[in-house]
Structure formats: structure tokens, C-alpha cells
Structure 1
């Protein structure tokens, strides 16, 4: 085996600079070129890590936590957090306890607290809530009037749902959305300096609120998810501490918000761009579950995750030493022609659609059943109640610049 140093040809380096150093409206052409260049693994000077783009490699990394560890936090990368800043230290103390940044057995212990809550059967009881929230939020808008569906509906649905599930009052929804955006941005390694400071300050407000909520439910149990989590023992026979609990609950808020918000934006865009599929779904709503899976494959909310090698390992054409940071890209892998036929086409139904939108292995998204339920309910309601929904002003369409979750930020529509 030959060790290849962290270097790229000029073209991949230029593409990576464009991808992570500026505003890229459509990342998929860059993803495709990087995936087909060399072995599809490229060093980023900005991230101080390799971007991994091909399906087999991305899936392999998720399947082997012993070699590709999640037991790290972004302070592993230089210059991201300031150990002399009390707010940074407090943020790291909570956020580094997330089970997404742990390997078994620590990961198994924390994640087991959710084992009863997010099964497909468990989330089914929340369908009436999702249906009510969906109808309540979209029916505020008049027909035949253009509006931006992302901030006024797509972002509000998952926040309203998770807030209700957690037992948070409706009047807290706006704060939850603000907190969610701030916390999500802290996972973007490109967000640095004053932007990171501001995001962490706002995130600590969320931590304070959730810490008070957890403490209150220990004293006064309610019929909500926080109470369930407080009262559920781990597989190790103990309970999570308050700071462990608030960290996981905050993750539910952010991950659930970004996933469903992104799914609504990408799904509507795909229907507008593929009117034949739109017509088929109107004629046969039974195809909706397949359509949602294909939406998740072709334009998923999660574009990057992070891992660190624990030992020397060969990946692609190179040998990576222990301690190498990797950014596997599910979004890029989901369009790998080695795995999917016609990978850039919106195919409904698609046979053998084992996409990586929720990633793979022990870190497969715990909230995937809820995200799927929300997506199916939203599109059922929209297609049933607004069958003629159409795209608004194309020039106003824009993606988020968050390199981890490049969801649609603006998507004008007309009901």
C-alpha cells in the first residue's frame, strides 16, 4: 500500500474552496466532479480533513465505528473552539455528550434511552398531531398568492411538532426555531469567529431552557417525551444525567427541524421540476412513501458527517494514518452511479433505494421514523388540499449556506 499525502490536484482544490469557502447555490455539480475525480477522496485545507464522496466508502465508514470513530467533537479541528472562553467551554461540555459524538458502548448507553420512543409503531401515535399542525400552518395562506413556504411553513412544522412532543408550550415555538437555527450552525465547521460566538451564545439559551425543563419533569412528570426520557433507564441500568439529557433533547430539536424542513423544500422543488411525477402522485397517493424516500435520496438534508480514524487504514487509493479527520458526504454518495441507476433523476418508485440520507450503521438517525411520518403527512395534505400548487418566482429560490445541511432557505410557491 502506498501512502498518499494530504494533497489534491489544482482542480479538486479549487472545487473544495468553492464548496466550503463561499456561497454555492447548487453543490451537486461540484459533488459529481469530485466523486469522479481520482478515487473520490479529497483533502480540504479549510476543513483540515478529507471529503469522502463515493457510496461504498461513505457506507463503509458508517458501518465500522471501531476504525472510523465518532468519539470526537469539532475542537479536534484547529481553531474552532476557544478553551479560554467560558461560553465555548460550557457549550462543549454539553454538546460533546451527544450520542452522535460517541462510540459503543457509550453510544449504546445513551441512545438506548430513545429505544421505545422512535420506533415506527411509537411515532404512529403522533400522526394526529402532525396532521393538525400541518393543516393549521399551511391554511394560514390564501390561494393564488405567492409566498415563501420555507420560513413560514417548512421551518414551522417540525418545530411545532417536536415542541408539542417534548411538552413545550406553543408560545415557545418562535424561540425554538431561533434556537434551532443557531444550534445547527454550530455543527458547521465553516462557521468561525464572531459568527460561532453568536451561535454558541444563542445555543446556551436553549440549553438553559431545556435544563430547566428536564429538572421540572423530574419533579412534576407529564405526558410528554421529556418525561419519558427522564424516566427511562439506559441498557446499562442507570439514568442519563441532566446535562446528558438536555444535550440529546437539543439534538432532537435541531436534527428533526433540519431534516423535515429540508425534505419539504427539496420535495416541492422536485415535484415542480418533475410534473409527470406530480401528476402520478395526485392520481395514486399510495406512491407517496416511495416518493418521500426518493426525495430523501436525491436531495437529502444531511450533506456531511464527521469521523476520525482510530488506526492506519486504506480508503480508496490511499493509506490514512490514525487520527485522520474525514467528512463522509451522504448527499454525494446518494447520487453515485456505481450504486444507483440514473442517479440524478427523480424516479418513483425506485427499486432498491438504500440511500444514506439518515446515514448508516449504529449512527442511523434515531428520529428517521418521525421525519418520514412528517414528510408523508405534509405531502399528503398539500397534494390533497392544493393539487395545483406551483412554483413561484424562480429568482427568489435559494439554498442555505450551511455546509452540513444545505437545505432550501427560500422556495416561493403559489397554492
Structure 2
């Protein structure tokens, strides 16, 4: 436990302490859980955002009973039955994307595979046309810039305008679904949201969808790319997986632990409370570092070692814990499993391109590569058709 003047928050790093904080919703609020500690938003950005809908709390940054209302709107889309129905289409998309670059011999795995895969899947669930996915990628980057308050003010203002465009797109799609519902999450959300007491406002629905979209592809893309990097940097584990393909589920879980795509979030103390022997005052902001908890030597044996057969791997906190356990965790696990299986099967001699220094997304909550160059043996592939 320590106080960070830069973040203006107490930082919690141990597995046991973080588990206690996230389980105690009566004393620790999730309001502003993705924005507290970020740099102050410039007034020009605030002005630009006023042209759209207010960024109201919805799923991640909310407490009961409001959180329960929002979670109920999206949870049905990620049940085991619905995901089992989607597995064939996800598998087909994985193969389609790989086929698009497999004879090139080298590719940026994030740009060519992980991001379009996760973005296309969440778009299909929401009901977004595939031709609009590139716009959503840009808007997602804009949202990240606004929340992180990063870069020159003029860039932040441009990003804020992009966020407003994002909101207007979603609001228009919701209005269309009101008039003519379809078999998609947008229709489910607007229909059920309007039937609640009180009805969900458009600002609430738009904020919810922005969170679902962002969480549904940025974190999973980060998991896929990070998982590949871990396997290629640990050839003995890679060989073990090739020898025993049934270890894929454990491989994904260990990758989630080590990558920790959501590396940290925030809470606010609702009363004076003690954490790890330190007294935290009422109203204090708290940064819970999942990435640290997932490498806590008091919880995991040799936590810095990548071990696809780790027996207690599911004790990690990468998907959160308790009330805010990630509603999309089953989908993330499914996507990562199918992606890793196909990449290892279809790209012989898969390896990292030496000398690269991939950067990471600038975010106070999400950790993912901005690129990862890989290569493979084209000569070992069947003749191109």
C-alpha cells in the first residue's frame, strides 16, 4: 500500500488486499472506476463533449442497484448457450483473417488479426455492420485519448469530437431498433431498457454500449497478442502445448494472468477503512492493480514464470472479482482459444520478428500491444490457391 501523488490515489498491489476491496461494495464505490487519477480534462475538451450525450456511469463505473440494471441488459448476450451458437462463425472468421495474410510470411498480428477479429465479433453481437468497424476502431482510439487526457489539447479536442460522433451513431442505431427490432444486442438493449422502471435514458444506453464495445474488443485483442508473445518467448511451453493440445484452456488462463489486459481500476472509499494495515480516509481514491495481484508471490508459486499447467491459475483477478466480474469473460476465453489454436496450426514455424519494440496503448486501465510483428515459414504452407 502506498499513496501516489501523481495519481492522487492510494495504490493497492497485493492479491489478498485487492480481493477484499473488490468484494466489499458497501465500503468501496466503483463510481469513476475508469477515470479517477487520470489527468484533468482540459476545458476545451469538456466543451467539445457537450455537443453529445453526457458520459454517465453504466456498467464498469457504477454501484448497485444501478449497476444491476445495466448488467442485466447485456448479460444474456454472453451466456454459454449463445456463445456455443456463435463458435462456428468465430472459427470461420479466425480462418478467414489468417487466410488473408498467411502467404505473406510476416504480419503485424495486432493490426491484421487480433484487433479485426475481436472488433468484428463484438460488432456482430451488437448488430453493427462490418463495413463500419473501421470507424469504430477510430472512435475507440478517440475514447481512450479522452479518458486518458493524453497528448496536445488540439488532439484531445479532435478525439472528443470523435466521441460525440460515436455517440450519435449509437443513438441513431438505437432509434432504428426502436422502430424495427432485429436479432442483435442493440435491439435487446433498447427494448428492455425502455421497459424498465424508470426507463433507461438515451445517455445511459449510449454510455453502456460504448463501454461494451470498448471492453469487448480492446482487452481481448490484447490478450490474444500477449498470449502469442508469451508462447513464442517460451519455446518449451509452446512445445508442450503442441504435444498436448488439450492444454489450450489452461494456456489461455495463464496468458490472462500474465498479460492482465485490464491492468488496473479505481475505487473510492465510502468511509475510513484499513487496507493492508494502512488507514485510508473516507473519500480517498484507490487504484487496484490487478496486474500486480496476478504476480503476487504470496498467491502464486514462481509468479513471473509462464506455466501453461499452473494448477491454481484460476485464482487470478484478470477478469475482476465478485459483483464486477467481467460479463464478457466467457467470450474472451473462447476467442483466445480459437485464435491460438488456429495460429499455431496454420502458421508453421511461427516466431517473433527480432529487434522490434512494440509500444502499448496509453491507458490508465487497459494494457495491450499497439503492434506485434511475427513471421513464419511460407515454404511449409500448401501451394497457394
Q: TM-score, normalised by structure 1?
A: 0.84
What is the distance in 2 between the residues matched to 1:124 and 1:45? 47
Deviates more, 1:191-200 or 1:56-65: 191-200
Matches within 5 A, 1:199-238: 199-232=159-192
1:26 counterpart residue number: none
Matches within 5 A, 1:121-136: 121-136=81-96
For the 8 Å contact 1:82–1:88, the answer to whether it is kept is: no
2:229 counterpart residue number: 269
In structure 2, relative to structure 1, the CA distance for the partners of 1:239 and 1:287 (3 Å cut) is farther
1:172 aligns with 2:172: no
Correspondent of 1:358 among 313, 319, 336: 319
In structure 2, relative to structure 1, the CA distance for the partners of 1:112 and 1:191 (3 Å cut) is farther
SS of match in other structure, 1:100: coil
Q: CA deviation at 1:219?
A: 0.5
For the 8 Å contact 1:188–1:404, the answer to whether it is kept is: no
SS of match in other structure, 1:187: helix
Q: CA deviation at 1:72?
A: 3.2
What is the distance in 2 between the residues matched to 1:181 and 1:333? 27
1:15 counterpart residue number: none
In structure 2, relative to structure 1, the CA distance for the partners of 1:119 and 1:151 (3 Å cut) is same
1:386 counterpart residue number: 347
In structure 2, relative to structure 1, the CA distance for the partners of 1:142 and 1:84 (3 Å cut) is closer
1:86 counterpart residue number: 47
Structure 1 unmatched ranges of 5 or more: 1-40
1:411 counterpart residue number: 372
What is the distance in 2 between the residues matched to 1:76 and 1:384? 43
SS of match in other structure, 2:10: strand
For the 8 Å contact 1:99–1:107, the answer to whether it is kept is: yes
For the 8 Å contact 1:154–1:264, the answer to whether it is kept is: yes
What is the distance in 1 between the residues matched to 2:187 and 2:288? 35
SS of match in other structure, 1:125: helix
1:115 counterpart residue number: 75
1:354-404 CA-to-partner distances (Å, cap 9, x unmatched) read 111111121111111111111111112112222421111332433333342
Correspondent of 2:61 among 77, 101, 106: 101
What is the distance in 2 between the residues matched to 1:116 and 1:212? 23
Correspondent of 2:291 among 331, 351, 357: 331
1:196 counterpart residue number: 156
Q: TM-score, normalised by structure 2?
A: 0.90
In structure 2, relative to structure 1, the CA distance for the partners of 1:397 and 1:206 (3 Å cut) is same
Correspondent of 2:122 among 162, 167, 172: 162
1:146 aligns with 2:106: yes
Q: CA deviation at 1:246?
A: 1.6
Deviates more, 1:379-388 or 1:254-263: 379-388
What is the distance in 2 between the residues matched to 1:332 and 1:76? 18
Query: How many residues end up aligned between the 2 structures?
Result: 374
Q: CA deviation at 1:319?
A: 1.0
What is the distance in 1 between the residues matched to 2:116 and 2:370? 13
2:333 counterpart residue number: 372
For the 8 Å contact 1:83–1:89, the answer to whether it is kept is: no
Q: CA deviation at 1:157?
A: 0.8
Q: CA deviation at 1:96?
A: 2.3
1:313-367 CA-to-partner distances (Å, cap 9, x unmatched) read 0112321111101110101110000111110111112112211111112111111
For the 8 Å contact 1:186–1:196, the answer to whether it is kept is: yes
Q: CA deviation at 1:76?
A: 8.1
Deviates more, 1:321-330 or 1:224-233: 224-233
Structure 2 unmatched ranges of 5 or more: 377-385
1:301 counterpart residue number: 261
Q: CA deviation at 1:175?
A: 0.6
In structure 2, relative to structure 1, the CA distance for the partners of 1:191 and 1:109 (3 Å cut) is farther
Q: CA deviation at 1:194?
A: 4.1
Q: CA deviation at 1:186?
A: 3.2
What is the distance in 2 between the residues matched to 1:95 and 1:218? 22
In structure 2, relative to structure 1, the CA distance for the partners of 1:170 and 1:191 (3 Å cut) is same
What is the distance in 1 between the residues matched to 2:151 and 2:319? 23
Q: CA deviation at 1:144?
A: 6.1
